[in-house]
Amino acid sequence: MRKFKVAVVGATGAVGLEMIKMLESRNFPTESIKFLASESSIGKKLIYNGEKITVELLTKKSGKGIDIALFSAGATVSKEFAPYFVADDCFVIDNSSAWRMEKDIPLVVPEVNSHDLKKDKKLIANPNCSTIQMVVALKPIHDFAKIKRVIVSTYQSVSGAGQKGINELTEQVKAWAKGESIPTANKFQYQIAFNLIPQIDVFTDNGYTKEEMKMTNETKKIMGDNSIEVSATCVRVPVFRSHSENIWIETEKPISLQEAKELLSKAEGIQLMDEPKSKKYPMPLFAENMQTIYVGRVRADISTKNNALMFWVVSDNLLKGAALNAVQIAETLVKNELI
């Protein structure tokens, strides 16, 4: 089997570290690997397959000789450096929001739209974490009954805001446990410990946040169907890892509860955990560090006679919501001989 020269950009960040773990644990065919980051991380040592590898400075020439680069260093860095990697004939899988809605750039969740990957499309966007887990759950139902409308409320963990989000919740909980004053919020708009914040990212003119609009616009692009109407409310919750979502859908074609459950149980990447009488349903506690999207609480909407269902979806946002999906894109490029 052919092996590939790989680079991880933003290697020392929360998602970058998970990308490294996923490449290693999933035995990605790596000939060599390079870890790249900003000046503050130069010289740090990271372990890959038992070998200590020194973090190097990201430059415009870092892509020379690299086959696949996984970027997780933010939109500004991606905008500046990704085009240089592509110019050096490197596939770039970018985890930031920089390229997601660009018309000619694939926005890919392999279980949903791997067909959008092409040999001549070197720059590939990794979708938003909350969008990824939702579209994987929507796909089998959409294929069967065509989804007309989606209303989703998210309960997103602090790791979605990176290591600073994790640190802020940790510090606030520790202070509370000691009976000390809770530190002033810095990363989030308000104290996150023992609180919920109904704002992720900034508000737009229509009253929705950018995070909510990402879910609307990215879903249409990934599903390849602009007719799907999506309305989201995104909430930050005091959980370290894994996002949860309550999803309501309306379909054009009738679909029974049993049909929906059967479709979900057979869908790639999904584990149906739906035994409410036995108190078996998805929770962040179960999903942390798992490479699976969990679906449960599947039920018909009793408030309408339309074709409407509700279900609960939980997934580790640092894995399937970011690092794992990026590595799966790389795996798909290899499997389909696009690289």
Question: Could you list the pLDDT tens digit for every one of the 339 residues in the chain?
Answer: 799 999 999 999 989 999 999 999 999 999 999 999 998 999 999 999 999 999 999 999 999 999 999 999 999 999 999 999 999 999 999 999 999 999 999 999 999 999 999 999 999 999 999 999 999 999 999 999 999 999 999 999 999 998 899 999 999 999 999 999 999 999 999 999 999 999 999 999 999 999 999 999 999 999 999 999 999 999 999 999 999 999 999 999 999 999 999 999 999 999 999 999 999 999 999 999 999 999 999 999 999 989 999 999 999 999 999 999 999 999 999 999 999
Point out the catalytic residue in the list 90, 115, 129, 142: 129
**Same domain flag for 165 and 286:** yes
Q: How many structural domains compose the chain?
A: 2
**Same domain flag for 109 and 206:** no
Please report how the helices 324-335 and 14-25 are oriented relative to each other, as an axis angle in degrees rounded to 10.
40
Torsion angle defined by CA atoms of residues 70, 75, 77 and 82, in that order, rounded to the nearest 10 degrees: 50
**Same domain flag for 274 and 196:** yes
Please report where in the chains the tokens 């794992």 appear, as a residue: 324
**Same domain flag for 165 and 18:** no
**Same domain flag for 138 and 103:** no
Active site residue 234: no
How far does CA 9 lie from the centroid of its chain? Answer: 17
**Same domain flag for 202 and 278:** yes
**Same domain flag for 203 and 297:** yes
Domain span including residue 8: 4-127+322-335
Which amino acid would we find at residue 19?
M
**Same domain flag for 36 and 100:** yes
- CATH at residue 287: 3.30.360.10
Point out the catalytic residue in the list 90, 142, 234, 243: 243
- CATH at residue 75: 3.40.50.720
The pTM (predicted TM-score) of the whole model is: 0.95
**Same domain flag for 171 and 115:** no
Active site residue 243: yes
**Same domain flag for 24 and 83:** yes
